[in-house]
Amino acid sequence: MISRLSSASVVGIDGLEVSVEVDARQVKEAGRIVVVGLPDAAVKESIQRVTSALSNSNFFRPGEMIVTVNLAPADVKKQGPGFDLPIALGLEVAIQQNHEDIPKLHKRRIPIGLEDWCIVGELALDGQVRGVRGILPQAVAARDAGRKYLMVSAENADEAAVVKGIDVYPVKTLHEAWMVLSERSAFTPYQPPNVMAESEFALDFDEIKGQSYARRAMEIAAAGGHNILLSGSPGSGKSMLASRLPTILPPLTHEESLTTSKIHSVCGLLPGGRGLLRTRPYRAPHHTISDVGLMGGGSNITPGEISLAHNGVLFLDELPEFNRRTLETLRQPLESGAVTISRAAGSMDFPCDFMLVAAMNPCPCGYLGDPRHACKCSPAEVARYRRKISGPLLDRFDMVIDVPPVAPSHLLSKPDGESSANIRARVVAARQRQLQRYAGTGILCNARLSGKALRKYCPLSPNQQSLLLSAVEQLGLSARAFDRILRVARTIADLANRDLPTDDDIYEAIQFRQFESSLRAL
């Protein structure tokens, strides 16, 4: 007889139910074990782990058997060590069913109701069960496939228990896994501990001294989900501002938390002891990052930094130091909120709806325009440095601002800005206005307004139209920048609880693009 167990794998960031079929036949010649169904190297190596774990766990393992393990569906590549546990249990079930001369010491009760189980776990050589990546999407796939029970490593229990509608049974050893499978009623499903509310952020906006203009810009960016570029000399506070942006963003909704957690689960980055991320991600890759590291890919296609920043912030410090080709790959994902990675083995779609925050110096030495330090760069060097950022990429920023150096007198003074909690309250209120306004449209924030929706929700008076056209002409801005000014004005009005942007709102929005003309001037 063939034993069948259900397991799961990950395709992109989604789970896929996999049927593990084991056929074990006793023969007189030398035995062998074969795994079919497009297994990768980690799955093929499971045979060595499984046989050692069975032997070291005192399970019966006859030598002369031909064992075939099939992982269905056969046309999808299977990867990772998560099939170790279901293969081992399926092999033992097949042996108990088919082998006639099992010693009494090794005779075991054959489990029933196997069709209700989904089993995922890696085996150590001594039979210990280890955790695997991507348990969250795999648990969702098992539930959606109608499985009632999920068996995972104890390391993965908190993550798996997030999924409602399926009972989770954590195990630590292969022997314990067999006992749970055979006598489920004797064991209690895992109940995760109550997760206390997240403590306050370690960082706070009230730690930033001076920079009232930059703080206002960050509040507007957070309220509308706008991309922002900060330019200023070293030590002006650009990184401080960016690192504190998550402290004023709205809390993750349950749906956002689930999607973001799935991405981090697949990459093995979920914090231990928590099933879901409860704060918006903040990713700050180094400027030496490759295209694959930023966008995703590899031989086994995995998400990149832009997907890890989904529903959060991607901070690119020292923007001109990034490889220009790498930066140009950001242009399409910034518009669509998703990235498609195509390789010979197939293609994957990953979500990447993030806020882009970037920082740069005004010149190679960093001190152009600094009143206390002389710039040593020639005009040609400054022009070459700034040309590393293309015009189309610069157009993807809704706000481009100059962050001046902090006056020495401010350094010993008490912080004169508001706390993150106060700013966050205004940001949340503004976002709530946007959600109510765009209900049923699929638009979640002002930064995603475009085309007809932008004209519908941001109507302009003749005077405002003239004002905007004049600004675009004088500053040399593109049509895309025109729309972005309008979106920022819409956000400024939301922060002030106004139904429509006023002339002052548009003036302020234009102000946040004025520095862009100086970046294009050289």
Say if residue 285 is in the same domain as residue 318. yes
Residues 6+ apart with CB under 8 A from 312: 246, 249, 260, 280, 281, 282, 283, 354, 355
Say if residue 228 is in the same domain as residue 302. yes
Residue 510 covered by a domain:
no
Mean pLDDT of the chain: 89
For residue 371 the two structure tokens come to: 């009143």
Range of 22-36, 405-419, 491-505 with top mean pLDDT: 491-505
Say if residue 232 is in the same domain as residue 171. no
Say if residue 209 is in the same domain as residue 163. no
Work out the percent of the chain whose per-residue pLDDT is above 70: 91
Say if residue 388 is in the same domain as residue 353. yes
Residue 350 covered by a domain:
yes
pLDDT average, residue stretch 186-197: 78
pLDDT average, residue stretch 378-395: 90
For residue 296 the two structure tokens come to: 């995703």
Q: Please tell me the least confidently modeled range out of 16-30, 133-147, 260-274.
A: 16-30
The reported pLDDT for the residue numbered 480 is 82
The reported pLDDT for the residue numbered 297 is 87
Residue 433 covered by a domain:
yes
The reported pLDDT for the residue numbered 216 is 95
pLDDT tens-digit map of 423-440: 999 999 999 999 999 999
Cross-strand bridge partners of residue 233: none
pLDDT average, residue stretch 36-61: 88
Which of 447, 474, 493 delimits the end of a domain?
447
The reported pLDDT for the residue numbered 101 is 63
pLDDT tens-digit map of 60-89: 666 677 889 999 999 888 989 999 999 999
* CA pair distance 314, 249, nearest whole angstrom: 13
The reported pLDDT for the residue numbered 415 is 66
Residue 261 covered by a domain:
yes
The CATH number for 126's domain is 3.30.230.10
Residue 195 has pLDDT above 60, yes or no: no
SS3 string, 346-379, reads EEEEEECCCEEEEEECCCCCCCCCCCCCCCCCCH
For residue 329 the two structure tokens come to: 């790959």
Residue with token string 């706070």: 204
pLDDT average, residue stretch 314-318: 97
Q: Please tell me the least confidently modeled range out of 32-46, 121-135, 166-180.
A: 32-46
The reported pLDDT for the residue numbered 273 is 63
The DSSP code for 448 is G
pLDDT tens-digit map of 473-513: 888 888 888 899 999 999 999 999 999 999 999 999 999 98
The reported pLDDT for the residue numbered 391 is 87
* CA pair distance 323, 156, nearest whole angstrom: 38
Residues 6+ apart with CB under 8 A from 412: none
Which of 447, 469, 486 delimits the end of a domain?
447
The reported pLDDT for the residue numbered 518 is 67
Helices of type H across 58-197: 84-98, 135-144, 157-160, 174-182
The reported pLDDT for the residue numbered 270 is 86
Say if residue 166 is in the same domain as residue 235. no
Whole-angstrom CA distances from 407 to 242, 366, 376, 445, 481 are 20, 17, 22, 35, 32
* Pairing of β 346-351 and β 149-153: unpaired
Residue 515 covered by a domain:
no
The reported pLDDT for the residue numbered 108 is 65
Closest CA to 69 of 128, 129, 5: 5
Residues 175, 127: contact at Cβ < 8 Å? yes
Residue 452 covered by a domain:
no
* CA pair distance 515, 522, nearest whole angstrom: 13
Say if residue 286 is in the same domain as residue 137. no
Say if residue 154 is in the same domain as residue 247. no
pLDDT average, residue stretch 211-225: 95
Number of domains in the chain: 2
Work out the percent of the chain whose per-residue pLDDT is above 90: 62
Task: Domain of residue 344: give its range.
Answer: 205-447
The reported pLDDT for the residue numbered 300 is 80
pLDDT average, residue stretch 252-273: 89
Higher pLDDT, 374 or 478: 374
Closest CA to 229 of 477, 395, 444: 395
Q: Please tell me the least confidently modeled range out of 92-96, 256-260, 462-466.
A: 92-96
The reported pLDDT for the residue numbered 406 is 83
pLDDT average, residue stretch 262-291: 90
In the chain, what is the straight-line distance between the N-terminal and C-terminal CA atoms, in Å? 77
Say if residue 225 is in the same domain as residue 133. no
**Confidence label for 515 from pLDDT (cuts 50, 70 and 90):** confident
Q: Please tell me the least confidently modeled range out of 57-71, 161-175, 384-398, 453-467.
A: 57-71
Say if residue 292 is in the same domain as residue 417. yes
Say if residue 66 is in the same domain as residue 169. yes
Is the four-CA dihedral 219, 224, 227, 231 of positive or negative sign? negative
The reported pLDDT for the residue numbered 153 is 96
Which of 405, 422, 447 delimits the end of a domain?
447
Residue 102 has pLDDT above 80, yes or no: no
Q: Please tell me the least confidently modeled range out of 29-33, 247-251, 322-326.
A: 29-33
Residues 6+ apart with CB under 8 A from 294: 285, 304, 305, 306, 326, 329, 330
The reported pLDDT for the residue numbered 244 is 95
Amino acid letter, residue 322: F
* CA pair distance 287, 323, nearest whole angstrom: 7
Say if residue 253 is in the same domain as residue 136. no
Residues 413, 209: contact at Cβ < 8 Å? yes
Residue 219 covered by a domain:
yes
The reported pLDDT for the residue numbered 99 is 66
The reported pLDDT for the residue numbered 475 is 82
Chain centroid to CA 411: how far? 36
Residues 6+ apart with CB under 8 A from 170: 151, 152, 153, 154, 156, 157, 160, 190
Residues 6+ apart with CB under 8 A from 37: 18, 69, 70, 71, 72, 73, 74, 78
Q: Strand, coil or helix: what is 250? A: coil
Residue 521 has pLDDT above 60, yes or no: no
Which secondary structure element, helix H or strand E, spans residue 427, and what is its range? helix 420-437
Closest CA to 205 of 254, 262, 248, 266: 248
Residue 473 covered by a domain:
no
